[in-house]
Amino acid sequence: MITKEAAEKLLGIEIKNLDLYISACTHRSYLNEHRSFPLPHNERLEFLGDAVLELAATEHLYTTYPYSEGELTNFRSALVNYKMLSEIANRLGLEQFLQMSRGEAKDTGRARQVILANAIEAVIGAIYIDRGFAVAADFIAREVLVELPNIISTGQYVDPKSRLQEIIQEKRGVTPTYGVVSETGPDHNKVFVVAAYVQSQEAGRGSGPSKQEAEIAAAENALQNMGVMS
């Protein structure tokens, strides 16, 4: 469980209400195994933090970059998606303070990334309630918005499917296609494996909880195989 000293060191702010930050680090599953735990899980704080993050990011993009609404939307999407936020949470060292069930704690894949991303949003919600928007916005600028220049310079704001299509159309004059290789698991927890094809030749393969996410993963893998993404 996170302490006041650890929270202040992690976030670089002075905190007033420690319970908010403990809740921000508490996954719903933890309460299933600790029914006497006196604080709520982090989903409500995550809901609030998501809105605070979006406002701060949008204001920064609007005042900093003279691009169209569509381009700014792409920048923002690349900045606040679960993969980027989970990387930021890892950089901060937030994972060591997460409270989860034993089962969730064993998962190291996409589910863990989502938990980390949700936790950082919940932390932003906690900062907003505890210290107000200015302090929350300062934290966002220091820990999240700092990623923007790299996102823009490396083209990470272009989704992998669009990027793959542009490259293949330029080089080969054809459009990549996608096909489901396998579909496993119950309806509430399916895993799709999808392959990306270029003229019937498999270029990459990826998996995800939906066909759309699996297609994106397949496009990312194809780009990696082409040496475009590392």
In which region does residue 132 sit, left (phi positive, over 0), alpha (psi from -120 to 50) or beta (all else)?
Answer: left
Distance in Å from the first CA to the final CA of the chain: 35
Q: Which DSSP string corresponds to 176-195?
A: -EEEEEEEES-GGG-EEEEE
50-88 b/e with 16+ CB inside 10 Å = b? bebbeebbeebbeeeeeeeeeebebbbebbbebebbbeb
Annotated catalytic, 50?
A: yes
Nearest to 140 by CA among 58, 78, 226: 58
220 is catalytic: no
227: left (phi over 0), alpha (psi -120 to 50) or beta: left
Among the listed residues 46, 104, 121, 143, the single catalytic one is 121
Contact 157, 78 (CB under 8 A): yes
Q: Which residue has the tokens 């929350």?
A: 136
Q: Which of 5, 33, 46, 50 is catalytic?
A: 50
Query: How far is 61 from 188, CA to CA, in rounded Å?
Result: 37
Catalytic residues: 50, 121
